[in-house]
Amino acid sequence: MKKAYRTFIGLILTAMVVLCLPGLKEFTASSAADTDKLEVHFIDVGQGDATFITCGGHSMLIDSGDDSKGTAVQNYLQKQKVQKLDYLILTHPDADHIGGAPVIITKFEIDRVFVSNYEKDNRTYQKLIQALDNKRLKAVTPDVGETYRLGSAKITVLAPDRIYDNPNDASLGLLIENGDNRFLFTGDAEEPAENDILNNQADISADVYHVGHHGSRTSTSEKFFNAVKPAYAVISCGEDNAYGHPHAQTLNLFRANAVEVYRTDEQGSIVAVSDGTQISWNCSPSTTWKPGEPSDPGFQKKSDNCPTQITYICNTNTKKFHYPSCSSVCQMSGKNKKTVTISRDEVIAQGYAPCKKCNP
Ligand SMILES: [Zn+2]
Ligand SMILES: [Zn+2]
């Protein structure tokens, strides 16, 4: 009798577990067996962002390059046999992120469009709104903490959590998980927005970090980097871009931490493939460590030993600091010239301001 009673209780428990399983599945990481292949294509759009992601037959696009790249992104997606995008995500309304979107919106069927809460009043933005209207698409800003599915991958919204004055800071931030593999996207979010993401206590550790703001030193603060601790960093930027992206400070941080860096200005479109456990790449990482800033002959050598230290020439009279290669250095009188090999923050802390010409 006692044994029969135990069996009965056992059956009830088993039934409860089975009934609860569909609900549980949503909240547990998918096992290797039901993990789809996730492909992340960092499309070369010159200076700008456009990242195509596909998993289990579902697709999304994060940003679209500037308006001269809309057709190139369209062609790239068509080569990938994309007919429909489950999501179009426009991180923030700067032209190098949304300029190509009207072409994409016009040419593809799109289920959902997510945008930043930052609105701009310019022609590029108006063209985007017009294209959305023409397709009767409504763009929404998802809330922080919301999750979405792309095949077996899970997308978690990390930002923006408030209204910002700087459109870059208002960038949509996303973490994409596929099995054990994690990819982080922060658009052009700069340090204030990174701090807000950190304050929200979400786990932002990631294998692959799509580097904020094209490798600018105004993003990827050390604190933020330490929370992400990526094995791989991908920088979307254009060759010889006007902003000097990626900045030496950001590259040095990656180099000092043995992060493998991929960059679209050197390698063209870059593809990462996740099977849920491992990530493989279509090319080898970049080994140039070449910043987009004016080149400093001392940089490569110095950074081997002490990656965050750079040689600068300070003018003790004007209180400006320069790269050694800056033309102002030739004109500087010997008695005002002081050579230092320290980090950029340290030289600023000593009361020097960056030269406007070489922008160190
Ligand atoms: Zn940008
Ligand atoms: Zn921007």
Taking the domains of the chain in order of start, what are their residue ranges? 32-281, 299-354
Tally: H helices and E strands in the chain? 12, 19
Q: How far apart are CA 155 and CA 86, in angstroms?
A: 12
What's the gap in Å between 65 CA and the centre of ligand 1?
9
- Taking the CA of 50 as reference, the closest ligand is 1
What's the gap in Å between 93 CA and the centre of ligand 2?
7
pLDDT beneath 50: ranges in the chain: 1, 3, 13-30, 297-307
What's the gap in Å between 216 CA and the centre of ligand 1?
10
Q: What is the pLDDT of residue 29?
A: 47
What's the gap in Å between 85 CA and the centre of ligand 2?
23
- Taking the CA of 172 as reference, the closest ligand is 2
What's the gap in Å between 181 CA and the centre of ligand 1?
25
Q: How far apart are CA 271 and CA 282, in angstroms?
A: 5
Q: How far apart are CA 127 and CA 105, in angstroms?
A: 11
Query: Phi and psi of 107, rounded to 5°?
Result: -90, -20
Only one residue has tokens 């067996």, namely: 33
> From 3.60.15.10, 3.40.50.1980, 1.10.490.10, 3.40.50.720, which CATH number describes the 32-281 domain?
3.60.15.10
What's the gap in Å between 257 CA and the centre of ligand 1?
25
Q: What is the pLDDT of residue 302?
A: 37
**At residue 45, what is the residue type?**
V
Cβ–Cβ contacts within 10 Å for residue 268, how many? 12
Structure tokens of 122? 């310019």
Structure tokens of 191? 């340090």
Query: Phi and psi of 154, rounded to 5°?
Result: -115, 130
- Taking the CA of 94 as reference, the closest ligand is 2
What's the gap in Å between 100 CA and the centre of ligand 1?
13
3-state secondary structure of 259: coil
What's the gap in Å between 157 CA and the centre of ligand 1?
19
Q: What is the pLDDT of residue 32?
A: 59
What's the gap in Å between 186 CA and the centre of ligand 2?
11
Strands lying side by side in the sheet with 310-315: 337-342, 310-315, 320-322, 353-354
What's the gap in Å between 312 CA and the centre of ligand 2?
28
What's the gap in Å between 324 CA and the centre of ligand 1?
28
